[in-house]
Amino acid sequence: MRILLVVVGLLLSAVAAHAERVIPSGKQLILFNATSVNPDCSALGNVEVRVAQGPEHGKVSIRRTRVFPNYAAVNLRSACNARRVAGVLVTYVSQRGYVGDDLVVIEVFFPNGRAQRTTIAIRVV
């Protein structure tokens, strides 16, 4: 039973996160923001973001800036949701006049050693 739980846990952790977004052609879309803060909202360390697969019909920008986090209400850090904290913002803009589907895959590395791979399907209208 213990081996089965470990295998199931490993399989679940290997599944990539998926998200879908819709945006008018040529407009900026916020794809993702990431933070890593202490309960007092001070920075815990730098979050690193990489584009694993870039879009075919647009451009992705990654920049360090202050962002609003989105911690669950039960998280000690949820008080930080009301103010901007150090983080990383990932945005997308399609090529001018492009209408159709695009795809971006990003990898996020947190200072605590956790990593996340996110696939974002984008519908440009």
Reading the block at residue 98, the tokens are 């492009």
- Pairwise CA distance, residues 15 & 21, whole Å: 19
83-123 residue pLDDT tens: 999 999 999 999 999 999 999 999 999 999 999 999 999 99
- Pairwise CA distance, residues 28 & 59, whole Å: 10
Q: Is the pLDDT of residue 16 over 70?
A: no
For residue 42, the cross-strand partners are none
β-pairing, 17-23 vs 115-124, is parallel
28-57 residue pLDDT tens: 999 999 999 999 999 999 999 999 999 999
Residue spans of the domains in the chain: they are 16-124
Cβ-based neighbours of 35, under 8 Å, separated by 6 or more: 47, 67, 69, 80, 85, 86, 87, 88
pLDDT for the residue 20: 82
Q: Does an H or E element contain 2, and which?
A: helix 2-14
CATH class of residue range 16-124? mainly beta
- Is there a contact between 24 and 93 (Cβ–Cβ < 8 Å)? no
Q: Does an H or E element contain 12, and which?
A: helix 2-14
